Structure 1
């Protein structure tokens, strides 16, 4: 086993869904197979506008031939292993390249940096991982009251590394996932409630919105931004209890079972549509919205 870097871009010709699968041609088969059972880092190339750089981790579970295309393969990710970085990591940071394995003997960037799949050393993996989850922003260290009461203060340690025979093994706790999920969702929505359109900041500088899962964690909903939505307290309550939902075009749907229809209409966004993230990949995925309409929304 070994860790790797997988290049992914939103406009790729390949059928990638980073939390679930990575599609690639046969020329990379041996490199991807070397990552089975281990963690990989997703990287968005510098040529992409507003690139995120190194932006997430996932664990490769298995590799299979693509049933629909000859000579193409799928790396299937371990369910629940995908996690966006709290802080996307730039290819070239303040102290130079973070992935030093792409340098040649002369200290210059080699052709390896263009490879869609490449191995990464434990040192480079650790460096990127630590930068990606560095707790420097104010919204990341906060833990919601319900999470605190469930886990207790002594559960605050977000992650740990275990170095063993030069392999990187990491355990990502539920509490880290909750905190990172909050950060990436609030960042995508500019800390604004998607339903009311309000952006409220309290006296401590904290946004008064929560990061809600569209498909719940209990129903195997992933901790990815496209399965998240920023909601204020009342909107969150209504969303979780099926009083409101969203159509695929983000039109706000109000349940006919709502006891105060006029009151709900008064608090939702006047456009009748949810406030949405700028990045297309950050917007609620129709797959998760359909699940919410079918399993939560009270028609």
Structure 2
């Protein structure tokens, strides 16, 4: 309440309640405890050190992990993006952030999981959403390099973005065009239409 007796609308309309330091510390400790069985070094939560005057030293645990996955060449991504002028082959979108980094991704036509090579002829430049549709087999490519996008497979929200029969944007250099064998593989083994 304010000094004049009226209510302060901001305090009563707050959608987030303020936490005392000891509750915040308990939440943080509980969150870290659930990660890989890690137990926090300090268990006395009252003086865990989340104040402006005293900070408890925090040593981040080092977790070693070994991941086995197919090697992907960085040059594949660079060359595919360059061949398509950083434009999505399906939508034509060319989005570049303030740092000059394009949104478009280099997609493998014949997936890496199927031993698809990191060849520019096995690549398409696709925006993130279109890449997702392509990898899940919801869209594919016809031999004439037009889009196969059956309406029954396309979410309604994306119907205007991907249009069945629309020609793909292709690289100017014919040596960078998608190879027919990779397109056929995608249609026959990935595409769900």
Partner of 1:276: 170
Question: What is the Cα deviation at residue 286 of structure 1?
Answer: 0.9
RMSD: 2.4
Distance 1:204 1:224, change over 3 A: same
Partner of 1:235: 130
Distance 1:267 1:150, change over 3 A: farther
Distance 1:197 1:270, change over 3 A: farther
What secondary structure sits across from 1:275 in the alignment? coil
Partner of 1:174: 71
**C-alpha contact 1:227 1:284 (8 A) present in aligned 2:** yes
Distance 1:150 1:277, change over 3 A: farther
5+ residue gaps in structure 1?
1-148, 152-172
Distance 1:259 1:210, change over 3 A: closer
Choose from 185, 198, 211 the match for 2:106: 211
How many pairs were matched up? 127
5+ residue gaps in structure 2?
1-64
CA distance in 2, matches of 1:150, 1:233: 27
Partner of 1:194: 89
Partner of 1:222: 117
Partner of 1:293: 187
Specify which structure has the bigger relative contact order, considering alpha-carbon pairs within 8 angstroms and separated by 6 or more residues.
2
CA distance in 1, matches of 2:88, 2:163: 9
Distance 1:174 1:190, change over 3 A: same
CA distance in 2, matches of 1:150, 1:264: 38
What secondary structure sits across from 1:196 in the alignment? coil
Which structure: larger Rg? 2
CA distance in 2, matches of 1:293, 1:285: 13
What TM-score comes out, normalization by structure 1 length? 0.40
CA distance in 1, matches of 2:160, 2:154: 14
What TM-score comes out, normalization by structure 2 length? 0.60
